[in-house]
């Protein structure tokens, strides 16, 4: 078996240079994260607020922390100053809460809009209709403390590559639609976060700019 550092290096070698690697370290100890960090990895993704804050406190300050899991509105205040990107904005109510709290803290928080692209019902996310309605609303146009940097989605958990690639293709299509309609003059709207250990090659083929990889780097989670 390869070491964590070797896994980081070989993934970076394989990924096209414009695709960012988010190392998903949920459930893994700080010592594992340090091994990845020492191999040059600077972006880590966690899905729980409490776990992220605990780890951040014990690790180097130049790590970029991304939240990739569902965020409850009552946790927003405690986390936003610790994050460089929230991948998992999945409702208007959550985006509004982030905007309101960020305004109080005099910050601008970078966010991705999470779309529901999979067939499973358990996965969070917007539909394209909901996002279009939100973007056209006056309330949204007054948000000054969130920076929408792109889209995120998770494909159905299946071996069927046709299903996975068509779901990723629809996410990339939503990105282009939003870019044309609302973000043509916003260079920061540039990210398509898609692809995990089992499907990142398909995601990259469909235009991913950010892959979120856990088990392929750190080994299986219990």
Ligand X SMILES: *Cc1c(COP(=O)(O)O)cnc(C)c1O
- Which residues here bind ligand X, judged by CB under 6 A? 24, 26, 47, 68-69, 154, 196-198, 212-216
Would you say 47 or 99 has its CB closer to ligand X? 47
Question: Of 23 and 95, which has the nearer Cβ to ligand X?
Answer: 23
Which lies closer to ligand X via its Cβ, residue 26 or residue 107? Answer: 26
Give the span between the Cα atoms of 23 and 33, in whole angstroms. Answer: 9
**Minimum separation from the CB atom of position 106 to ligand X (A):** 29
Provide the minimum distance between the beta carbon of 51 and ligand X in the complex, in angstroms, as a whole number: 12
Pairs from 65-72 (Cβ < 8 Å, separation ≥ 24): 66/22, 68/22, 68/24, 68/152, 68/212, 69/26, 70/124
Based on CB atoms, which residue is closest to ligand X, 35 or 47? 47
- Nearest residue to ligand X, by Cβ distance, number only: 214
53: its two tokens: 């804050």
Smallest distance, Å, CB 184 to ligand X? 28
Q: At what angle do helices 4-14 and 30-38 cross, to 10 degrees?
A: 50
Closest approach of ligand X to the CB of residue 206, in Å: 16
- Measure Cα distances from 43 to 58, 85, 187, 214 in Å: 15, 10, 21, 12
């Amino acid at each position: 078996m390869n070491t964590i550092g070797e896994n980081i290096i070989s993934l970076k070698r394989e990924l096209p240079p414009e695709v960012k690697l988010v190392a998903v370290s949920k459930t893994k100890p700080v010592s594992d994260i340090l091994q990845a960090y020492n191999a040059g990895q600077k972006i880590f993704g966690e899905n729980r607020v409490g776990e992220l804050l605990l780890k951040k406190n014990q690790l180097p300050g130049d790590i970029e922390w991304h939240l990739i899991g569902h965020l409850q509105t009552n946790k927003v205040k405690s986390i936003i100053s610790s994050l460089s990107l929230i991948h998992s904005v999945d409702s208007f109510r959550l985006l509004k809460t982030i905007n309101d709290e960020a305004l109080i803290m005099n910050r601008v928080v970078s966010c991705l809009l999470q779309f529901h692209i999979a067939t499973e019902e358990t996965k969070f996310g917007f539909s394209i209709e909901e996002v279009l309605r939100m973007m056209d609303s006056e309330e949204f146009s007054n948000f000054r403390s969130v920076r929408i940097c792109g889209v995120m989605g998770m494909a159905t958990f299946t071996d069927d590559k046709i299903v996975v690639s068509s779901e990723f293709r629809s996410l990339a299509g939503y990105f282009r639609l939003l870019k044309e309609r609302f973000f043509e003059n916003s260079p920061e709207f540039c990210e398509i976060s898609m692809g995990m250990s089992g499907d990142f090659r398909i995601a990259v083929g469909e235009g991913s700019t950010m892959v979120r990889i856990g088990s392929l780097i750190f080994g299986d989670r219990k």
